[in-house]
Amino acid sequence: MIGWIRTLLAFSMVALATPFLLVLQFIALRTGLWSDRLVPPLWHGLVTRAVGFRIHVHGEISEQRPLMIASNHISWTDIMVLGSIARVHFISKSELAGWPVIGLLARYQRTVFVERERRGQSGEQTAEIATRLAAGDPMVLFAEGSTADGNHLLPFKSTLFGAASKAITSGAVERVFIQPVTIAYTRLHGMPMGRQHRTHAAWIGDRMLVPHILALLREGAVDVEVHFGKPVEFDASSKRKAIAAEVEAEVRAKFNAALAAPRRSK
C-alpha cells in the first residue's frame, strides 16, 4: 500500500509541474529571454526526487570547451541523473523522439537524435553534433551504445566519438575535451545492492518502460554514484580507438570501485 501511495504522489508531482516547466522552456527557446539550459535541470531534479534517488556526486563537470561527456549507460534514469546535476545536452537513439511525452521533453532539451541503422544520415547527424560542440554545448554520449545490467560495462564504441573528429576536421575547433563520467546504482533502502538487486535500476533490452517506472516508484530510496573524471584531449593527431579505450578504462575503474565501496562499508 505504501508503495502505491508513493507512486501516486510522485506521478501527481511530476504531472503538475511538467506543463509549467515546458512552457518556460518553450519561451526560452523561442525568445532567448533566458538560457535554454536553466529549466531542464529543474525537471530532471524533480523526477529524480520523485523516483527517490539519492545522488552522490564526485568531482564536477569540466569548464573546458568544446566538451563531450562519455558515460556508461544503465537505464533511462541516467539522463535524469546527469541532467539534474549539470547543464548538458544529450545524444540519443532516434527511437526516443517518438516516445509519448518523453520524446517531446527530449526535443525541448535540444537532444540530438541519431539513427544508427541508417548510414545515409550518419554524416549529417555527426555534423550536427560537431556544430553543437563547437558552439559550446556540453554533449553527453552514452559510449556503450546500449544499456548494461548495472553489474558490468559493455565495451565503448569508438565510432560514437566520430563527432569529435568531425568538429576538428571541419575546422570548427582545434580540439575537443572528452570527460569520462561513471554512473553506478549502489544501494537500495540504504543496503548495498548485490548482482541480483542492481538489475532493479537497470533498464535492459526489451524490458517494458511503464512497469519499470512503476517498480522504481514503488520502491524508491536508490543511491546513485556519479563520478566526473579528468577530461582527455582529443585533437587531429588522436586515434579514436585509443581515446575510447582510455576513457573506457577510467569509467570502468571508477564503476568497479563504486560497486565495491558499499560492500566494504557494510
Distances (CA, A) of 100 to 7, 104, 105, 117, 217: 19, 7, 9, 22, 19
* 156 vs 84: CA distance, rounded Å: 24
Question: Would you say residue 185 has pLDDT above 50?
Answer: yes
* 1 vs 43: CA distance, rounded Å: 27
Q: What is the pLDDT of residue 125?
A: 78
Question: Would you say residue 119 has pLDDT above 60?
Answer: no
| pTM summary value | 0.91
Query: 92 and 112 in contact (C-beta within 8 Å)?
Result: yes
Q: What is the pLDDT of residue 264?
A: 53
**Phi and psi, residue 184, nearest 5°:** -140, 130
Structural domain boundaries in the chain: 53-209+221-265
Question: Would you say residue 46 has pLDDT above 90?
Answer: yes
pLDDT, mean over the chain:
89
Q: What is the pLDDT of residue 200?
A: 78
Encode pLDDT of 127-165 as tens digits: 889 999 999 999 999 999 888 888 999 999 998 898 898
Averaged pLDDT, 238-264: 91
Strand pairing of 139-142 and 175-188?
A: unpaired
Q: DSSP assignment of 8-30, as one string?
A: HHHHHHHHHHHHHHHHHHHHHHH
The confidence band for 120, taking pLDDT boundaries of 50, 70 and 90, is very low
The confidence band for 244, taking pLDDT boundaries of 50, 70 and 90, is very high
Please enumerate in sequence order all residues whose Cβ is within 8 A of that of 115, keeping only pairs 6 or more positions apart, or say none. Answer: 94, 121, 122, 125
The confidence band for 266, taking pLDDT boundaries of 50, 70 and 90, is very low
Question: Would you say residue 1 has pLDDT above 90?
Answer: no
Q: What is the pLDDT of residue 57?
A: 97
Q: What is the pLDDT of residue 210?
A: 76
In percent, the amount of the chain with pLDDT more than 90 equals: 59
